[in-house]
Amino acid sequence: MTYCPDCGVEIGDSPVCPLCGAKNPRQAVQPIECAEKPEHDAPYFLADAKTQETFTAQEKRKIVWEVLSVAFLVATIALFSINLLLSGSLTWSLIPVASFIFLWMLSSAILMLDKHRILRSAILFADAPLFLFALSLITGNPAWSLQLAIPLAVFSETALAFLYIMIVRARRKGLNIIAYTLIAIAILCLGIEIFVDLYIHGIIWLGWSAILAIALFPIAAFLMYLHYRVATSTNLHRLFRL
């Protein structure tokens, strides 16, 4: 029931009090109708929210791969067109297009071959050497890629692969991961100087990489000692015979 705020008479749904003429307090305050909120505040990149929820992880990767493929294709056509328009032949545009192909191969292996690990690993391993060889063919001098760039790339990828395997297979991760990384850096630097010396001088003359390795190997050995000897012992008195 609604009563008049001035005289207290019951007024029900009347807009004003029939006795004193005061306004009905409920009729004076009109409810504010909320504007209908749009279902989506902003457009989504792939689809609306309801559709996004129905996408599986594989479907989302496929959509991203397709978008990247179309973007690389559009950029390639634009570069070729500009190069042909300005030079009348394909020259400088081959280098960025080779980079696009390199990135497309990487994205394809990562996004589309998650269930084929061996094939994905093979593509990821061969991608950089193939890219370097393509660049050497574009520049008209494949010697530097065959004698220096490709061997160095293969050696670097092999060292990183072994580091990854050691980290993954480690049952307990701690200081040993830092030690593995330091050893990989030392070996990688030694390999870089060896390949560069063979390419430039034809002989191996270790300098800066040997100094770096001498500095890193003892640190890695000390970290391995701390990890596998000290950190795993539950009784330091028994360990050090105190």
Q: How far is CA 47 from the centre of its chain?
A: 23
Q: Is residue 218 a part of any domain in this protein?
A: yes
Q: Is residue 166 a part of any domain in this protein?
A: yes
pLDDT at residue number 211: 95
What is the total count of domains within the chain?
2
171 and 238 in a single domain? The answer is yes
Q: Is residue 74 a part of any domain in this protein?
A: yes
State how far the Cα of 42 lies from the Cα of 56, in Å rounded to an integer.
Answer: 22
pLDDT digits (tens, 9 = 90+) for 124-154: 888 889 999 999 998 888 888 898 999 999 9
167 and 240 in a single domain? The answer is yes
137 and 190 in a single domain? The answer is no
218 and 175 in a single domain? The answer is yes
Q: Is residue 11 a part of any domain in this protein?
A: no
pLDDT at residue number 42: 46
Boundary-marking domain end, from 82, 111, 141: 141
235 and 162 in a single domain? The answer is yes
Query: What are the φ and ψ backbone dihedral angles of 90, each rounded to 5 degrees?
Result: -85, 115
State how far the Cα of 53 lies from the Cα of 170, in Å rounded to an integer.
Answer: 37
Q: Is residue 16 a part of any domain in this protein?
A: no
172 and 118 in a single domain? The answer is no
The answer to whether 230 and 239 have CB atoms below 8 angstroms apart is yes
The answer to whether 25 and 17 have CB atoms below 8 angstroms apart is no
State how far the Cα of 195 lies from the Cα of 124, in Å rounded to an integer.
Answer: 22
163 and 136 in a single domain? The answer is no
pLDDT digits (tens, 9 = 90+) for 76-123: 999 999 999 988 888 899 999 999 999 999 898 888 887 888 888 888
Q: Is residue 48 a part of any domain in this protein?
A: no
**Residues 6+ positions from 92 with CB-CB distance below 8 Å:** 83
Higher pLDDT, 26 or 213: 213
Neighbours of 165 (CB within 10 A): 11
pLDDT at residue number 242: 45
- Supply the range of the domain harboring residue 169: 143-148+158-242
pLDDT digits (tens, 9 = 90+) for 63-79: 899 999 999 999 999 99
State how far the Cα of 63 lies from the Cα of 54, in Å rounded to an integer.
Answer: 13
Strands (E), 52-193: none
Q: Is residue 23 a part of any domain in this protein?
A: no
Boundary-marking domain end, from 141, 173, 200: 141
Boundary-marking domain end, from 86, 115, 141: 141
Beta bridge pairs of residue 3? 10
Query: Above 80 in pLDDT, residue 220?
Result: yes
The answer to whether 155 and 173 have CB atoms below 8 angstroms apart is no
pLDDT digits (tens, 9 = 90+) for 150-177: 999 999 999 999 999 999 888 888 888 9
State how far the Cα of 208 lies from the Cα of 185, in Å rounded to an integer.
Answer: 13
